[in-house]
């Protein structure tokens, strides 16, 4: 299983897979580091032993934050893999991505992170304002 992670693949072209494989294991930290260059806007964090990807943005308003979440939610539903969404202090958005089924990171998390960055979210919600 680990060898498939060793070849950094083009994450953006991949699709998340269902996380219901019973032998699903969280990837090792050194393997996670090999994939970080493809998600270079994200931070690799460890919380109570669980590796996660985290990125934060500041949006113009609370409702812009909700718009931001709606766009991410559509992507997550299409991928069948879901981030943790935080909207705090009215305009601070943080997204954390990890695979709950195995309590750590899998390739799904990196695919989702890469696709979230491709959405260019701040640009999108800014454009919505002018429409």
Ligand X SMILES: C[C@H](O)[C@H](O)[C@H]1CNC2=NC(N)=NC(=O)C2=N1
**Residue ranges in contact with ligand X by CB under 6 A:** 18-20, 80-82, 99-101
C-beta closer to ligand X: residue 53 or 125: 53
C-beta closer to ligand X: residue 55 or 99: 99
Q: Report the chain's terminal Cα–Cα distance, integer Å.
A: 47
What burial letters (b/e) apply to 47-62, b meaning 16+ CB within 10 Å?
eeebbbbbbebebeee
**Shortest CB 53 distance to ligand X, Å:** 10
* Residue, CB closest to ligand X: 101
The answer to whether residues 129 and 51 touch, using CB atoms and an 8 Å cutoff, is no
C-beta closer to ligand X: residue 101 or 122: 101
């Amino acid at each position: 299983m680990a060898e498939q992670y060793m070849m950094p693949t083009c994450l953006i072209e991949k699709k998340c897979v269902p996380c219901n494989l019973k032998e699903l294991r969280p990837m090792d930290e050194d393997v996670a580091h090999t994939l970080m260059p493809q998600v270079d806007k994200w931070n690799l964090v460890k919380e109570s032993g669980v590796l996660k990807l985290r990125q934060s943005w500041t949006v113009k308003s609370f409702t812009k934050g909700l718009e931001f979440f709606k766009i991410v939610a559509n992507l997550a539903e299409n991928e069948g893999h879901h981030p943790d969404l935080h909207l705090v202090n009215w305009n601070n958005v943080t997204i954390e991505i990890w695979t709950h089924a195995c309590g750590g990171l899998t390739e799904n998390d990196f695919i989702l992170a890469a696709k979230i960055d491709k959405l260019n979210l701040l640009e999108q919600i800014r454009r919505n304002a002018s429409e």
